[in-house]
Amino acid sequence: MEQNALPAQDERPTVAELEDRAFELRTKLLQLCGTYEGAVHIGGDLSAADIFTALFHYGLHVDPTDIRNPERDRFLLSKGHAAVCMYIAMAMRGFFSYEGIVETYGQLDSAYGMHPCKVQLPGVEASTGSLGHGLPIAVGMALSARHRGETHRVVCLLGDGETGEGSVWEAAMAANSNRLGNLVAFIDRNRQLMTSFAEERISFEPYPDKWRAFGWNVVEINGHDMGELVGAIDALPGADSDKPTVVICETVKGKGVDFMEHNLAWHAGSLSPKDLERALASLEANREKEMA
Ligand SMILES: Cc1ncc(C[n+]2csc(CCOP(=O)(O)OP(=O)(O)O)c2C)c(N)n1
């Protein structure tokens, strides 16, 4: 990923360091889930945790001490229900404090709502949560950057289920028509929706071919392999290129916690103290297995 004139990211972490951060992110997420009384969208948070880590700790050219810098990359969370995972990834990058999130998450008037609100939380680029809106907004932002001669990227994370929304494909067409090489979409391809598995409800396949047919560069990776995430980010075409890129990240909903993985019951939920203990133990055991 090319850098624009913003100061270089402090020191870019290694893949191993990013893996550690993703583990910390998942741990903090589960802990928050254990203290918050309401439901958290835990399944789609865990599937996206590695993507958030790779973006906020490696790929995105952003500066937590200068959040309005006009040269920053713009990140939009189109699957807005995964906001809490984004907040924690941002907190770990220095945007705000984790404790602050835990204190007020989900409360009326909190800056940290279940869905992100750009008015309430500086650093959030777009208010999202109604699925299908992030990519259209990202297209407008990328087009506007082009007209102004700006060189940053606009990066948007979508759920695969979300791409059942027609507005996503209108945006995909508009991005191609306007040759928006400064636009990058990451798809969290966890193959689950809210209450069902994706292909049971809607035929997504041949999914990468659909994006190709809409004129996009298509990159397919394992969205839990930090090396592949970093490789995909490093290989992105320059923001001055003329084709938008989609990185389809094959993921597992509930990733890292055995009893949540591929389990429709964990699209959203809350954790009893006992559940939290089990979840943290499973996360730890899986991490040890991966490192062995
Ligand atoms: C327009 C709209 N319809 C329905 C919902 C309710 N909803 C929230 S999450 C979700 C499932 C989305 O699936 P996906 O995009 O694959 O997200 P993930 O599985 O990664 O959580 C739905 C239907 C919504 N937020 N917006």
- 3-class secondary structure for 104-157? HCCCCCCCCCCCCCCCCCCCCCCCCCCCCCHHHHHHHHHHHHHHHCCCCCEEEE
Question: For all residues of the chain together, what is the average pLDDT?
Answer: 96
- For the cut 90, the answer to whether the pLDDT of residue 3 exceeds it is no
**CA 115 distance to own-chain centroid:** 13
Q: What's the gap in Å between 161 CA and the centre of ligand 1?
A: 6
Q: What's the gap in Å between 80 CA and the centre of ligand 1?
A: 9
- Quick check: 46 and 286 in contact, CB under 8 A? no
The CATH classification number of 15-291 equals: 3.40.50.970
Ligand 1 first shell, C-beta below 6 A? 44, 47, 79, 81, 129-132, 159-162, 188, 190, 192-194, 253
Q: What is the DSSP string of 223-244?
A: TT-HHHHHHHHHTPPPTTSSS-
| Burial class for 116, CB neighbours closer than 10 Å (0-12, 13-18, 19+) | buried
Neighbouring residues of 213: CB distance < 8 A, sequence distance ≥ 6: none
Per-residue pLDDT, 53: 98
Sign of CA dihedral 188, 121, 29, 130: negative
Higher pLDDT, 4 or 103: 103
> Dihedral angle at the C-alpha atoms of 10, 286, 81, 9, nearest 10 degrees?
10
Distance between CA 93 and CA 270 in Å, rounded?
26
Domain coordinates in residue numbering, the chain? 15-291
**What atom in ligand 1 is closest to the CA of residue 162?**
15
**What atom in ligand 1 is closest to the CA of residue 129?**
25
**What atom in ligand 1 is closest to the CA of residue 198?**
16
Angle at 44 between CA 181 and CA 227, to 5 degrees: 55
pLDDT in tens, 172-230: 999 999 999 999 999 999 999 999 999 998 999 999 999 999 999 999 999 999 999 99
**What atom in ligand 1 is closest to the CA of residue 192?**
19
Distance between CA 64 and CA 188 in Å, rounded?
25
Per-residue pLDDT, 11: 77
- For the cut 90, the answer to whether the pLDDT of residue 6 exceeds it is no
Distance between CA 146 and CA 90 in Å, rounded?
27
Mean pLDDT, rounded, for 55-64: 97
